[in-house]
Structures are given as structure tokens and as C-alpha cells.
């Protein structure tokens, strides 16, 4: 052998279980030939399997299911089992939420390493083109090198390949270069045959779908993102619409998995809004909802979740796992202002998720409590039971990430119940688990919880420092509600420590983020401050700085916005009133206000530190106002509470502690470990992208409204589409259109309600009252009616008289959204006016101007439609709908026309039309056929019943005295009409049951005409049935 060859063999023999070799491609291709049959060769070139080569290795091993059960993280078990069995992983039904991704990746990696260690039987492997591995796979390789694996793994890197120059590979090679198991730039002097060819051909769309899916399910985000670019090129090669949509969805989910939410949202929106009802549409909407929750765009998140709920409810498929996921997302996207329904929605969401065996999603939902559950003592048992159940399930499925979350909530529960020692222990357990897991967002959450805990027990400096130690890492996350929660706690710590300068700096940044990412909707699982909390803190600072002018301004803002202030900040209002009143010299009234503030805080039970703080601050004010005795009294009240609850910050563990000692303790906290201006800049960029998504959604809404104009015939069908569209855009409870009819009464035209809302049809008097109230509005716009708490718009214009009512979810819509809807309403109103004009024109064209009955044109249309209906019914049910047609001719009409003129003739036509309408049923169709002839189409009527109608008509004519009495009044003459010239009628009759093709009403009409002709010639003034006289014709 050549020296280099022996060197290679010796090097590999001396390696423990893994070694790394870099060489040119020619040399790499010779290595398997040198080492011989003792090594299995796997070429990674064009290998698109996830975490290559390790999952493909597991497929070689083919471990039994019991081994998988023992070594794999339970939620990932089916993913492993199906991939090992057939190379394609089965889709998970649960959603891996962002705060679980790192934990899931860690569990997946650990499971993979354990399986390889367990299954390797001493077989040696050579992995060619190892430069194709990504950082996750390289990390697994490093950990395997430290394991007790039996066989050897040789990773060969092509030093000439551009991928080897990739930073991930370069960093890895630098790391292992000096280790004993690395051989770099190895070259051979001798070649053994041809170089290896590429391992796999180009992927087909179907192959790409499977590769994307496998990589995504195994959380191999590097591979999935590299495949996504290939997927966009392959979309045009899809062989069917289904394949194209499935590939598009997988590409979108690839970007979603890689946290490129903006690219994912664009692709998902295309799938969602395509108008095709399929599984891909539903899944696209689910992930759109999830993306918008992550981006704190709550209205859009709710919109897509509710669309899925609506579609599955309509399809009577509420047992679907997608329905459970949509219900969960609907809960997560509920506003915390929806307090009245949150508890029920929370409990229902948990129940539905458990029924579908979505344990991870159940646990996540269960641990996102509505504030009413854990803050209300009445719910103590419910809260404890939920914690106990979630801890048991999280332990059963080995989810340490959620076990840590349970400990976090247990600590909060302990602290609320005054068990400080247990709270500390549970916080420590949660922090230990989350530190070991290395999940930044979860670590931030636990640090925030610890800070909040320290704040409540008045370890205020510790509350500040625990966040200041990690606040610099806020740049690494984009969860702005979490960022605001952290900044809020740090600002409060600075505030209660009396470092007002730092508190104000943090508050200004909070306000900036609040205006960008909160606005009108805050998700239920968010504990960010409410808008007026900021003014309450600022007013306290103003009072300390003796700036009572601005304090009063802030008080005015607070008093007018009580709904937008947190419960623990509401007591600041009577406290501020107390301070201003004291400044004005009314100390008795001021003390009453102060007592009100203290009592409000006592009812909340867990804010003793705030009680002490406001008593001390009031004492400082009194001292400045030279009310020394009163100041000392108030200070001692606070000191007593501080000592009773061991709030050390407020007395420094001293037996004797005075107000002067407290004031002297005011110092600056440590400087902030974050550049807040840079954080605001990052937020501004993210806000711009979010705004773009909102603009796209608004544009799509306006575009859809405009697109319905001219393509939908009929106002009812049009309004059905529009009501759904508005309801979807606004995620409103319901949207209802009504119209004022010819009878001058309002009637609901159409109403669309979300699946979780019972449709309410408003009574006629409500519409009329609103029409009278807002009928003279100058602009076409939505008006919020505070009495009904819904939006109303009068859509009336020209001959159209209609209106719209929108019932929102719980609160008013934002001004921006209202403006968008107003733009759409202008188009809607124009279309409704056009429909009304068309209907008026159609009515004119189909109505006889003398009698106001339908004319011949209307008759022909009616006969066509009824013929089609009879034929459809006969095919479907095998039965015939009976129709009888009567042609009626007014006897002696010509006499009156000639003797008294056409005006009298027209009067007689109108009178005869009236008795026809009076005699016939509503379901019968009656028209003026022409001249003095009328046609009646009677539904569900036999020939015998039709003849009886003739008798009833004659009786009605007799009652009217053959119109003689009315005719005398009309002409104002005493007319002498001969007996043989009285108004009468002749009739020809035919039933469709008497012909061979019952659906051919045209033939029935011809036969009735023949029967009428026979009546005129043979027996004027009577009725002839075609069946009886046809042989005589």
C-alpha cells in the first residue's frame, strides 16, 4: 500500500467512534475502496432527508416500536415510527407553539442519540459529502463522539465544494481541527476507479412535498428552508391543483417553521383566499391565526380562527382536530376585555382539546388562565384542580417545559395565598428547569415572574435587578407583549424604589410599544398594562415633584377612562384626589379619599406594598404642607402594615424607622442594561411589517367587495355574500341587512352570525326607530349606537330604502377599521341602488299598467320556471306537482268599451282583477294576458278544484252586483244596463295531470285556450274543461 493509505487506516483505527476527514472530491471517492467491505457507505449528496444522515441511519436499524416507546419523547413517537417504517412522517395534529420549539428540538435530538446508541451493533459507516450536513446534524455528530457507541462513523467533507466554505461547516471544522479525530486536507497519490456520481436525481413535486414535510416534522429548519426555495420553482410543475396547493402549503409552513412569518403569511393567505374549500384552506387559516397571534395582531388572528370554526360548524364537523385547534386559537386571540365570556371559552377550549387527545395544546391552553380564574378567591378550587391535572399530564408525557410552567403558576398561587416559602421553592424549581432547557423566552418569563414576586413582597431592588441582568436579551425576541410585561415590572420596581427618572425612561418606551402593538386588542394571555396605567404613575410622580397642574390633568384623563386602567392602578385615582384635596387645605376630605384608595387595594388582597407606598407618599406631602402630626400618623399606619407583612424595603428591618429615614433611602438603581432607543427602532421595523399585513388585509376586503359588484344577480344573494364578508373582516358577532318594503314595514333581508353566536333577527320596530333617529345623516358611515351597543348605517338612496346593523364583539371598532368599512359601504350602497332600479325596471316590464297584475311577459317566465320545478320534483321524488291553468275572458266587455269609452273599460279591468285576487290563493299566479283576457295558474290543484274556483269567482262577481253599483259611482250616471249586457266571464280550463308530459305547461296553456274558444262558441258565461270537450273540438 501507498503510505497515505496506511496512514488513513491507522488514523481511523486510533479514533474512538467518530472521525472527520476533509479532502478533495477525488480523494473522498477513494476512501470507501481503501477501507473495504467493513464499512457501509452513505452518500449525502442530494440527500434531502431531515437531520441527515441520522434519521436514514435509523431506517437501516429499523428499531422495534417498543424501543421507540421507551426512548422517544411521547408527542414525537408517531413521527419517528412512521418515518422509520415508510420514509414519510405522519402529520402531527397538534400545533407546536413557539415557546415549545426549543424544548421539542432538544427532546428530538436526545431521542435520536439514544436510539443510535441503542441500535448500533458495531457496524461502521462512511458518510461522504458531510458538508451537506447542517448545524443541528453536526451537533448530533459531536455528541455521538462522546457516547459509548460501538461502531465507527467517518464523516468525509469535500474541501473543494462551496458548501464546505459555509460558515456553519467552517466553524465546525475549526472546532475539531486540532482534535485527535480530525484529519484535514488529506490527499491520495493513487486512484481506485471512477469518482462517485451524484446520489439522487432532481426532486419531483411529490418528492419535494414529502421532503419538506419530513424536515418540518423533525424540526430540521435549516433543511426545510433550503428546500423552500426549490419548492417555489417546482410549483409550476405540479400535475394537479391539489398537488400545487399541498406544495404551496408545505412551502408556507417551511417559512413558518423558520420563523419567517411574513413570507409564510403571504403564501398562506393565497391558499386561504383562493375560494377552494379543502383541508389546505383550513390548515392555512389555522396557521395564519397562529402567525397573527405571534405578531400581536389580535383582530386578524381571531378572523382566521373564527373562519375555521364557521366552516367546520356548517359542515357539522366539530369533532375535527382542526376545530379544536381553531377553538384554542380563538381563545388565545380573545381580548382581555371580553371578561364575561372568557371563563366559559377557556373551560370549553380545554375540554375540546382533551377530547381530541391534543395534550400539549391542552396543557398550553390550561396554563394561559383568564385573570378571573386565579385572581378570584371563589375560583380557588378550580385553579388548584387545573394545576394538579396539568402537572400530572405534563409529567406523563415527559414535557419538562410545561412542568416548569406548572411550577411557575404554583409559585404565583402560593404567593397569593401568603405562602412565601413555598412560592420561593416553586419559582426556584421552574427557574432550574428552564435554565437547563436553555429556552430564552421561557427563561425571561420565569425571571419576570420572580421579579413580580419580589415586587409584591417589597424586595424592590431585587425585583429590578433580576430583570436588569437579562434585559439586554430582549433584542433577541419579537414577542412584544412579553417585552412589555418585562419592561412594566422593571418600571414598577424603579417607580416603587423612587427612582422616577429610570421609571419614566422605561415608561416612555412602554408607551411607544403600547401605541404600536396594543391599540384596541390585547390577547387574554397578556398581562401588559392598560393605557391609563401610565397616567396614574405619572400623576404620582407629578405630585412628588409638586407639579399639581399636570397631576390634575392626568387625574382628569384617568377619571374619564376608568375602563382602560388595571385594577391595581384604579386606587391611585382616589389617592391622587386625596393629594390634590390636601394641597387645597381640605384634610378631612383628603383623608376620606385616601381611605377609599387603601380599602380598594385591601379588597384586591395582594397589593400591600402599594398600600404602604401611597401612605408614605401622602405622608411626604403632608410633611411638606407642614402637617407634621398628621404626616406622622399616616406614616405610622403604613409602617405598621409594612412590618405586619414583612415588607422590608419600607422599614429596613429597623425597630425605629421614620419618614426622614424613608426619604433618605431614595437612591438611583443600577443603570439599565439595554439601549431603549435601539429597542424602539427594532419595534418600529416590526410595526411597519405588521402595518403592511393590515393594509393587505384591508385591501383584500375592499377588493372583494368591489369584485361582487356586477357578478351577482339579485340583491339578496349579493347581501348574503357581503354580510359574510363584513363579518369575516371585522370578526363581528353578526351583520344584518334590512329593507323597507312597499308595505312601509322593515324586514330582515339577510343576516350572518359567527358560529359561536346565535343569529338574532331584530324586530321591525328597532329598525324603524333607528331609521327615524339616523334617517337624516349627511354622510354614509357607520354610527355607533350607545343604547344598543352596535353599529348602524342608513343605506337609503333614491328608490332604495335599507339599512345595516353590525354587532361587534364586546367593544367598539377602531377608527381605522370603521373608515375601511365606510369606504366599502359606498360601493355596497351604489350596488343596492342599481339592484333596486333593475328590480323597478323589471317590475315595470313585467306588470300590466292598468290592473297592476303581472303581464304576458311575466306569465311566460312563470311557466318556464314552474315547468323546470315540476320536472326536477318528478325526477327526485317520482311524484307530479299538479297545476291547473284557466284562461278567462270577460263577457260583454266590448259593449262597455264602445258605449262608455276606454276609461270605463279600464275601470272594469281593474275591478275584475281585484275580485280575481280576492278569490284566488296567495300561491296562485294571476295575470292579464291581453285585452279582456286573464290567465290563472293554480298550484296543487286538481281539475275539479279548478272548476270550483270558477264557481267562487261567479259568486264574488254577483256580490259586487256585476260592478254596476261601482260603475254608476265611477261615471256619476244612472246607467240602464240590459240584463244580457251584464259583466260576466267565460273560462277554458286544463290540468297538467290530463296530458302525457305534466311538466309541459305551455301545452297545458294551449289546451286551456282551446277550451276557452269552445266556451265562447258553444256556452258563453260558463267553464269548459279541456279533458271533457277535447273530442268535440
Q: What is the pLDDT of residues 20-64, one digit of tens each?
A: 988 888 888 888 988 888 899 999 988 888 999 999 999 999 999
Q: How far apart are CA 677 and CA 684, in angstroms?
A: 10
Question: Is the pLDDT at 2 greater than 50, yes or no?
Answer: no
Helix (H) or strand (E) holding 37: none
Q: How far apart are CA 777 and CA 771, in angstroms?
A: 10
Nearest CA-CA partner of 986 in 1020, 948, 949, 941: 1020
Question: Is the pLDDT at 755 greater than 70, yes or no?
Answer: no
Give residue 699's pLDDT. Answer: 87
Question: Is the pLDDT at 565 greater than 90, yes or no?
Answer: no
- Tens-digit pLDDT profile for residues 996-1012: 999 999 999 999 999 99
Domain residue ranges in the chain: 3-200, 530-643, 709-844, 856-1032
Helix (H) or strand (E) holding 1024: strand 1023-1025
- Least trusted range by pLDDT, from 549-563, 781-795, 845-859: 549-563
Same fold, 3-200 and 709-844: no
Under CATH, domain 709-844 is a member of which superfamily? Answer: GAF domain (3.30.450.40)
Give residue 336's pLDDT. Answer: 60
The topology under which CATH files domain 3-200 is: Rossmann fold (3.40.50)
Confidence of residue 762 (pLDDT cuts 50, 70, 90): confident
Higher-confidence residue of 984 and 16: namely 984
Q: Where are the alpha helices (DSSP H) in 319-399?
A: 321-332, 339-355, 359-366, 371-375, 380-396
- Tens-digit pLDDT profile for residues 822-863: 999 999 999 999 898 888 888 888 899 999 999 999 999 899
- Tens-digit pLDDT profile for residues 289-344: 999 888 878 888 988 999 999 999 989 999 999 999 999 999 988 876 566 678 88
Provide mean pLDDT across the span 944-951. 90
Question: Is the pLDDT at 1 greater than 60, yes or no?
Answer: no
CATH 3.30.70.270 fits 856-1032, yes or no: yes
- Least trusted range by pLDDT, from 485-499, 758-772, 875-889, 983-997: 758-772
Confidence of residue 99 (pLDDT cuts 50, 70, 90): confident
Helix (H) or strand (E) holding 256: helix 241-257
Provide mean pLDDT across the span 659-682. 93
Give residue 856's pLDDT. Answer: 93
Buried b vs exposed e over 88-108: b needs ≥16 C-beta within 10 Å?
ebeebebbbbbbbbbbbbbbb
Q: How far is CA 676 from the centre of its chain?
A: 32
Phi, psi for residue 584 in degrees, rounded to 5: -85, 0
Provide mean pLDDT across the span 512-530. 68
Question: Is the pLDDT at 347 greater than 50, yes or no?
Answer: yes
Q: How far apart are CA 423 and CA 415, in angstroms?
A: 5
Give residue 354's pLDDT. Answer: 95
> Is the Cβ–Cβ distance between 17 and 147 less than 8 Å?
yes
User: Which among 140-144, 553-557, 1000-1004 has the top mean pLDDT?
Assistant: 1000-1004
Buried b vs exposed e over 334-365: b needs ≥16 C-beta within 10 Å?
bbbbeeeebbebbbebbebbbebebbbbbbbb
Confidence of residue 161 (pLDDT cuts 50, 70, 90): confident
Q: How far is CA 668 from the centre of its chain?
A: 45
Three-state DSSP state, 989: strand
Nearest CA-CA partner of 1027 in 984, 978, 993: 993
- Tens-digit pLDDT profile for residues 905-942: 999 999 999 999 999 998 999 999 999 999 999 998 88
Confidence of residue 563 (pLDDT cuts 50, 70, 90): low
Q: What is the pTM of this model?
A: 0.68
Burial class (CB in 10 A: 0-12, 13-18, 19+), 428: middle
Q: How far is CA 289 from the centre of its chain?
A: 4
Question: Is the pLDDT at 509 greater than 80, yes or no?
Answer: yes
Three-state DSSP state, 116: helix
Question: Is the pLDDT at 190 greater than 60, yes or no?
Answer: no
- Tens-digit pLDDT profile for residues 202-243: 678 999 999 999 999 999 998 888 888 888 888 888 889 999
Provide mean pLDDT across the span 130-138. 90
Confidence of residue 71 (pLDDT cuts 50, 70, 90): very high
Provide mean pLDDT across the span 529-557. 88
User: Which CA distances in Å does 540 have to 212, 413, 533, 1002?
Assistant: 56, 30, 11, 88
Question: Is the pLDDT at 361 greater than 60, yes or no?
Answer: yes
Cα dihedral sign for 804, 810, 815, 817?
Answer: negative
Confidence of residue 199 (pLDDT cuts 50, 70, 90): very low
Q: Give the CA radius of gyration of the chain.
A: 41
Burial class (CB in 10 A: 0-12, 13-18, 19+), 956: middle
- Tens-digit pLDDT profile for residues 396-448: 999 988 999 899 888 888 887 778 889 889 989 988 888 887 778 888 888 99
> Is the Cβ–Cβ distance between 404 and 390 less than 8 Å?
no
- Least trusted range by pLDDT, from 155-159, 253-257, 602-606, 614-618: 602-606
Per the omega criterion (within 30 degrees of 0), is the bond before 53 cis?
A: yes
Reported residue count of the chain is 1033
**838: Cβ contacts below 8 Å, ≥ 6 apart:** none
Give residue 379's pLDDT. Answer: 80
Question: Is the pLDDT at 378 greater than 80, yes or no?
Answer: no
Q: How far is CA 777 from the centre of its chain?
A: 34
Residue ranges of E strands in 842-904 = 883-891
Provide mean pLDDT across the span 528-541. 84
The number of CA neighbours under 13 Å toward the Cβ of 55 is: 29
Give residue 527's pLDDT. Answer: 65
Give residue 828's pLDDT. Answer: 93
Give residue 483's pLDDT. Answer: 92
For the chain, the average pLDDT equals 88
Question: Is the pLDDT at 264 greater than 80, yes or no?
Answer: yes
Give residue 148's pLDDT. Answer: 79
Amino acid at each position: 500500500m501507498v503510505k497515505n493509505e496506511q496512514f488513513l487506516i491507522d488514523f481511523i483505527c486510533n479514533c474512538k467512534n467518530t472521525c472527520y476527514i476533509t479532502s478533495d472530491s477525488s480523494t473522498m471517492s477513494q476512501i470507501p475502496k481503501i477501507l473495504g467491505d467493513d464499512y457501509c457507505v452513505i452518500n449525502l449528496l442530494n440527500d434531502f432527508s431531515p437531520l441527515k444522515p441520522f434519521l436514514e441511519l435509523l431506517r437501516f436499524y429499523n428499531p422495534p416500536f417498543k424501543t421507540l416507546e421507551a426512548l422517544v419523547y411521547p408527542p414525537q413517537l408517531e413521527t419517528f415510527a412512521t418515518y422509520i417504517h415508510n420514509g414519510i412522517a405522519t402529520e402531527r395534529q397538534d400545533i407546536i407553539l413557539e415557546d415549545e420549539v426549543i424544548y421539542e428540538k432538544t427532546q428530538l435530538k436526545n431521542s435520536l442519540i439514544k436510539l443510535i446508541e441503542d441500535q448500533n451493533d458495531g457496524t461502521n459507516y462512511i458518510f461522504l459529502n458531510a458538508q451537506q450536513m447542517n448545524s443541528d446534524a453536526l451537533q448530533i455528530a459531536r455528541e455521538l463522539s462522546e457516547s459509548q457507541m460501538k461502531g465507527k462513523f467517518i464523516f468525509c467533507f469535500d474541501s473543494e465544494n462551496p458548501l464546505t466554505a459555509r460558515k456553519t461547516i467552517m466553524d465546525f471544522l475549526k472546532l475539531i481541527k486540532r482534535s485527535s479525530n480530525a484529519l484535514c486536507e488529506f490527499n491520495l497519490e493513487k486512484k481506485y476507479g471512477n469518482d462517485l456520481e451524484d446520489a439522487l436525481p432532481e426532486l419531483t413535486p411529490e418528492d419535494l412535498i414529502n421532503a419538506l414535510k419530513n424536515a418540518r416534522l423533525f424540526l430540521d429548519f435549516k433543511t426545510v428552508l433550503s428546500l423552500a426555495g426549490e419548492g417555489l420553482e417546482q410549483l409550476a410543475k405540479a400535475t394537479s391543483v391539489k398537488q400545487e396547493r399541498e406544495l404551496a402549503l408545505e412551502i408556507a409552513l417551511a417559512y413558518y417553521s423558520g420563523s419567517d412569518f411574513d413570507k409564510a403569511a403571504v403564501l398562506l393567505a393565497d391558499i386561504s383566499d383562493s375560494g377552494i374549500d379543502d383541508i389546505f384552506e383550513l390548515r392555512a387559516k389555522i396557521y395564519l391565526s397562529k402567525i397573527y397571534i405571534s405578531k400581536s395582531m389580535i383582530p386578524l388572528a381571531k378572523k382566521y380562527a373564527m373562519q375555521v370554526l364557521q366552516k367546520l360548524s356548517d359542515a357539522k364537523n366539530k369533532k375535527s382536530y382542526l376545530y379544536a385547534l381553531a377553538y384554542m386559537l380563538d381563545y388565545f386571540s380573545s381580548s382581555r376585555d371580553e371578561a364575561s365570556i372568557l371563563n366559559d371559552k377557556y373551560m370549553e377550549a380545554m375540554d375540546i382539546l382533551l377530547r381530541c387527545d391534543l395534550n400539549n395544546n391542552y396543557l398550553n391552553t390550561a396554563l394561559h388562565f383568564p385573570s378571573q380564574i386565579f385572581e378570584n378567591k371563589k375560583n380557588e378550587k378550580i385553579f388548584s384542580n387545573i394545576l394538579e391535572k396539568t402537572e400530572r399530564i405534563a409529567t406523563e408525557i415527559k414535557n419538562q417545559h410545561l412542568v416548569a410552567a406548572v411550577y411557575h403558576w404554583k409559585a404565583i398561587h402560593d404567593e397569593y395565598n401568603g405562602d412565601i416559602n413555598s412560592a420561593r421553592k416553586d419559582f426556584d424549581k421552574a427557574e432550574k428547569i428552564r435554565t437547563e432547557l436553555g429556552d430564552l423566552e421561557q427563561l425571561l418569563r420565569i425571571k419576570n415572574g420572580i421579579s413580580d414576586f419580589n415586587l409584591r413582597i417589597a424586595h424592590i431592588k431585587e425585583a429590578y435587578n433580576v430583570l436588569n441582568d437579562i434585559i439586554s436579551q430582549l433584542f433577541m425576541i419579537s414577542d412584544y407583549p412579553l417585552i412589555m410585561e418585562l419592561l412594566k415590572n422593571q418600571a414598577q420596581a424603579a417607580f416603587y424604589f423612587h427612582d422616577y427618572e429610570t421609571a419614566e425612561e422605561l415608561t416612555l418606551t412602554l408607551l411607544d410599544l403600547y401605541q404600536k402593538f396594543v391599540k384596541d386588542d390585547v390577547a387574554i394571555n397578556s398581562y401588559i398594562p392598560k393605557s391609563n396605567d401610565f397616567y396614574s404613575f405619572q400623576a404620582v410622580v407629578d405630585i412628588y415633584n409638586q407639579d399639581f397642574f399636570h397631576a390634575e390633568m392626568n387625574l382628569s384623563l384617568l377619571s374619564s377612562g376608568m375602563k382602560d386602567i388595571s385594577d391595581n392602578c384604579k386606587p391611585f385615582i382616589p389617592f391622587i384626589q386625596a393629594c390634590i384635596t390636601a394641597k387645597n387645605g381640605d384634610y378631612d376630605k383628603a383623608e376620606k379619599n385616601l381611605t377609599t384608595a387603601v380599602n380598594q387595594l385591601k379588597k384586591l388582597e395582594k397589593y400591600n406594598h402599594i398600600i404602604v407606598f401611597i401612605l408614605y407618599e401622602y405622608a411626604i406631602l403632608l410633611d411638606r404642607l407642614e402637617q407634621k402630626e398628621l404626616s406622622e400618623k399616616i406614616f405610622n399606619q403604613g409602617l405598621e402594615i409594612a412590618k405586619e407583612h414583612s415588607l422590608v424595603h419600607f422599614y429596613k428591618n429597623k425597630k425605629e424607622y421614620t419618614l426622614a429615614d424613608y426619604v433618605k433611602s431614595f437612591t438611583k438603581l443600577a443603570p439599565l442594561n439595554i439601549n431603549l432607543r435601539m429597542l424602539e427602532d427594532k419595534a418600529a421595523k416590526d410595526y411597519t411589517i405588521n402595518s403592511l399585513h393590515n393594509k393587505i388585509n384591508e385591501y383584500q376586503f375592499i377588493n372583494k367587495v368591489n369584485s361582487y359588484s356586477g357578478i351577482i344577480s339579485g340583491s339578496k344573494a349579493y347581501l348574503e355574500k357581503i354580510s359574510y364578508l363584513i363579518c369575516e373582516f371585522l370578526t363581528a358577532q353578526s351583520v344584518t341587512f334590512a329593507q323597507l318594503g312597499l308595505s312601509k314595514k322593515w324586514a330582515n333581508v339577510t343576516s350572518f352570525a359567527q358560529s359561536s353566536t346565535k343569529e338574532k333577527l331584530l324586530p321591525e320596530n328597532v329598525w324603524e326607530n333607528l331609521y327615524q333617529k339616523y334617517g337624516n345623516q349627511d354622510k354614509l358611515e357607520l354610527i355607533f349606537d350607545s343604547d344598543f351597543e352596535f353599529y348602524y348605517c342608513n343605506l337609503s338612496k333614491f328608490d332604495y330604502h335599507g339599512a345595516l346593523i353590525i354587532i361587534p364583539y364586546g367593544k367598539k371598532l377602531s377608527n381605522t377599521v370603521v373608515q375601511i368599512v365606510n369606504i366599502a359601504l359606498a360601493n355596497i350602497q351604489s350596488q343596492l341602488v342599481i339592484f333596486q332600479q333593475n328590480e323597478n325596471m323589471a317590475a315595470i316590464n313585467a306588470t300590466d299598467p292598468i290592473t297592476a297584475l303581472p303581464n304576458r311577459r311575466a306569465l311566460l317566465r312563470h311557466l318556464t320556471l314552474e315547468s323546470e320545478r315540476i320536472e326536477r320534483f318528478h325526477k327526485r321524488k317520482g311524484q307530479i306537482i299538479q297545476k291547473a291553468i284557466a284562461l278567462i275572458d270577460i263577457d260583454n266587455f266590448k259593449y262597455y268599451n264602445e258605449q262608455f269609452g276606454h276609461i270605463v273599460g279600464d275601470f272594469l279591468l281593474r275591478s275584475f282583477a281585484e275580485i280575481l285576487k280576492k278569490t284566488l290563493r296567495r300561491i296562485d299566479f294571476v295575470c292579464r294576458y291581453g285585452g279582456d283576457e286573464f290567465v290563472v295558474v293554480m298550484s296543487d290543484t286538481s281539475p275539479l278544484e279548478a272548476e270550483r274556483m270558477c264557481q267562487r269567482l261567479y259568486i264574488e262577481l254577483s256580490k259586487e252586483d256585476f260592478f254596476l253599483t261601482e260603475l254608476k259611482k265611477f261615471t256619476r250616471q244612472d246607467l240602464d244596463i240590459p240584463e244580457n249586457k251584464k259583466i260576466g266571464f267565460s273560462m277554458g280550463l286544463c290540468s297538467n295531470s290530463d296530458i302525457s308530459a305534466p311538466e309541459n305547461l305551455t301545452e297545458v296553456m294551449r289546451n286551456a285556450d282551446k277550451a276557452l274558444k269552445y266556451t265562447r262558441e258553444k256556452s258563453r258565461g260558463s267553464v269548459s274543461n279541456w279533458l271533457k270537450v277535447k273530442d268535440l273540438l
